[in-house]
Amino acid sequence: MYPLHVLLGLLLLASLQAPTPAAGATTNTLAAGQALAIGDKLVSSNGKFALGFFQPTAAVTSKSGNTTSSSWYLGIWFNNIPVFTTVWVANREQPITDPKLTQLKISSDGNLAIVSHASPESVVWSTHIVANRTTGAGTNTTSAVLLDTGNLALVGSPSSNVTLWQSFDYPTDVMLPGAKFGRNKLTGFSRVGVTRKSLIDPGLGSYSVEIDTSGVVLKHRNPSVVYWHWLSGGASTLKLIPILKTMLQSNPRTKGLIDPTYVNDDAEEYYMYTSQDNSSLTFVSLDISGQIKMNVWSQAEQSWQAIFAQPADPCTPYATCGPFTTCDGTSPPFCDCMESFSQKSPQDWTLDDRTGGCTRNTRLHCTTSSEKNTTSSTDVFHPIAHVTLPYNPQSIDGAANQSKCEEACLNSCSCTAYSYNSSRCSVWYGELFSVNKNDGIDNNSEDVLYLRLAASDSPSLRRNKGKSSIGVVIAASIMGVGLLILMLLFMIWRKKIRWCGTPSYDSQGGFGCVFKGALSDSTTIAVKRLDGARQGEKQFRAEVSSLGLIQHINLVKLIGFCCEGDKRLLVYEHMSNGSLDAHLFQGNAAALNWNARLWDGSICRKGLQPSSDYIQRNCRVPCPRVAWGSSYYIES
């Protein structure tokens, strides 16, 4: 039997080498000593929400189908719907690149942390609470619980009601029912929502929403530009909740479903809404475009339905389409590039990331001479009418008319546009943002922006080139049609069989052309049209009077004839292999096999014998002997 100290040593070694127990697939709690790895998840007790590691995926219109990020994140999502929808992301700015070595667990100091076990071991993300949650015996009692509301709470112990940290206090771009959105007046803590960068990048995007001392503020983050504001307190706030309730009650999809509230006391100020139907799925989001939207899940459509948006005009957020773009809020897609500009990154645009905007097709032609202190440019200006003018205009004093204003812009190589209105000259340097078209609803601007372009990109120049190009295309089309007609005529002519001579007479006279045809019973025939008034008539009479009476196995049979006016036609049985002279003298004729050659030679020999009665035999009238190769025809 082993000594006691040896057994204790073996037990200690086994405990050090034992793997960390994983959280169960159906549990909603992660306790100290447990770990959540890739493929594991916590599920709320009602089954509505799940927490785990995920890769963002977006369904975009492309040949490759869905687009998936290469990075991993820890997040919470709706668990029982086919459309993967996250409501909270932990490590927005710290994506995981090596998921196999990454776990979520309660650290030794009581924090919930994403830990990478790569060498060296590092903390990817943590709740960063200060208190060290250990008992007197040194046991960590902290637990993470995914509640039925979708809130991830860090509690002192599984049985404790004390919340040390919760995801509802650190929203991403979504607010769920029961979550407070506002600020603590005593501590100064404020809950801020920030848009994601794109459909597959949950990192910090361009827009944010928060409640500060002045009220609800929507703004562009960098540069900081406030584009929508709702004042706190007073009559405006008292009106907001009734307006929201009226809007929600008027829509059948939200009637009796959502109840918004507003609280403003000495301790805190916040907005919150609750759901009257626990089986329904709703959330409020700050969209990538900078709009606040109320979303409701449609079981019938199996998709999210946006009930309303604020601001109502999607073009209101600053730079929502990126630089050198125009925005038209009447119908999607709202964003488009300016004249002679193209999307800087079409792939980013498909993922709703338009921060790169558009870029010039052709660089401006502008040079500056430092010695002479002069600027030379061949650039032109293209008017964009009925738009809001871009942000940050610079006024030019002394420009008495539009020509002077245009000249002032051309004299600076960094000037990209100008506007002249009511004797006021404004110019813009660098990128142009928030050029929104007049939609007759929220935007009624009648201003005209003159966009600077390279001369080769001028629309009027392209139209002139287009006219000449159209002329060339028309001429080429006419020539093409003419050639096509000639080719068709040639093909029709090729289908006609032209034999110089007749099936049984000397071909040197060239009395007409022979055409291939068919009778109503599908019998293939050869129809000879006789040319020339005098010679044709003579040939016609000779053929009808002789071949019409002859019945011989080796002579072409005259089936019939036609005589109408000066037209003369003779109808023969068709010989598919043509005349013998074609096979003897034409290089492109098909070669005859030896049986055909011997048979043809035998027939010709008999027909050429002066004393032979081969042709004469069984003929009712005398038959002339013809020795020309074109007089002999070969059947199939």
Per-residue pLDDT tens for 504-526? 333 333 456 788 888 888 788 88
Q: How much is the mean pLDDT over the chain?
A: 82
Residue 576 in this model has a pLDDT that exceeds 70: yes
Q: What is the pTM of this model?
A: 0.69
What average pLDDT score do residues 248-269 get? Answer: 91
Strand-pairing partners, residue 375, are 368
Q: 171-180 pLDDT, tens per residue? A: 999 999 999 9
Which CATH architecture group holds 19-169?
A: Orthogonal Prism (2.90)
| The predicted structure's pLDDT at residue 610 | 43
CATH class of 507-631: alpha beta
Q: Using alpha carbons only, how large is the chain's radius of gyration in Å?
A: 46
Residue 620 in this model has a pLDDT that exceeds 80: no
Q: Helix/strand/coil (H, E, C) string of 205-254?
A: EEEEEEEECCEEEEEECCCCEEEEEEECCHHHHHHHHHHHHHHHHHCCCC
Q: 47-73 pLDDT, tens per residue? A: 999 999 999 998 765 555 688 999 999
| Residue 36 phi, psi (nearest 5) | -115, 120
Residue 490 in this model has a pLDDT that exceeds 80: no
Per this entry, what is the length of the chain? Answer: 636
- Nearest alpha carbon to residue 58 among 85, 40, 87: 85
- Nearest alpha carbon to residue 99 among 70, 127, 126: 70
Q: What percentage of the chain reaches a pLDDT higher than 90? A: 53
What average pLDDT score do residues 67-88 get? Answer: 96
> Domains of the chain: which residue ranges?
19-169, 171-312, 325-452, 507-631
Q: How far, in Å, CA of 364 to CA of 412, rounded?
A: 11
| The predicted structure's pLDDT at residue 244 | 85
Q: pLDDT band for 471, please (50, 70, 90 cuts).
A: low
Query: Do strands 57-58 and 67-68 pair parallel, antiparallel, or not at all (unpaired)?
Result: antiparallel
| The predicted structure's pLDDT at residue 486 | 76
* Alpha carbon distances (Å) from 103 to 69, 305, 635: 19, 35, 89
* More reliable by pLDDT, 42 or 499: 42
